[in-house]
Amino acid sequence: MTSYNNLLLQVTDQTAVLTVNREQKLNALNRETVLELTTAFRFLEQQSEVRGVILTGAGEKAFVAGADITEFASLDDTGAETLANEGHGLMDTIYNFSKPVIAAINGFALGGGLELALSCHIRVASTNAQLGLPEVSLGIIPGYGGTQRLTQLIGRGKALEMIMTADRVGANEAYNWGLVNHVVDPAAIMDFSKQLLQKIFARSPNAISKAIDAVNAAIQTPQKGFEKEIELFGQCFASPEAKEGIRAFIEKRKPNF
């Protein structure tokens, strides 16, 4: 298994737990960490024993408290575009990952940290989580997909309010806005996330992958989303898992996926 300078990776019971391990920096995303995360997700995509991923941060204070601003001081516009391209590469890899990815938001998720959480399929927040996009305070805008994915998730008005005020929102407000799926006690966040994945693991892996593709199509190419759903629906029926699932339903038993 690949070793990383800024990440911890543990695989148990078909679940990969990927932890950003820069606790002394509140798990801030420097360039090396972005590239390591991209490598890690590409590796996990190929591991048949891994059926889902939980992404979290080390310690009790932060999921990821933002980008590493110390790297920004020397950037010109060309360097900034390169950095944004690398960030988008990571976020797109997670967003289009064929297996479920849960962000276990165990504290601050700010700037690039919130953008990282937005790229995941499901977000579980601890009660002490704080979420925000503070970039305009630095004279810049979110550059890792935040202006797009936040708007898709909570709507234009709320997204612009969060971005333009640079204010943080707490876990309960984030839940009310639809920004996170669940809010749980900090001590329970990993167990809850693992249980959620186990529920998903009881379903067809092929169908889960196709569902991710279909839902993403509704956002990325909305004019073709319905066509994509029809295509993927048909492809499911060619799989052994569909035959097993339908047969199990008729025979009144649990499917063996």
| Residue bearing tokens 């004279």 | 139
Task: Compute the Cα dihedral for 11, 57, 159, 41 and give only its sign.
Answer: negative
Q: How many residues does the chain have?
A: 257
CB 226 within 8 A of CB 126: no
227 given a catalytic annotation: no
Q: Which of 135, 227, 231, 251 is catalytic?
A: 135
32, 45, 115, 251: the catalytic one is 115
Yes or no: say if 127 and 171 are a contact pair by the CB < 8 Å rule. Answer: yes
Rounded distance between C-alpha atoms, residue 230 and residue 217, angstroms: 12
For residues 126 and 148, is the Cβ–Cβ distance under 8 A? no
Residue 133: which of 158, 152, 102, 106 has the closest Cα?
A: 158
Residue 99 tokens read as 């297996």
User: In the chain, what is the greatest distance between 2 CA atoms, to the nearest angstrom?
Assistant: 65
Just list the catalytic residues: 115, 135
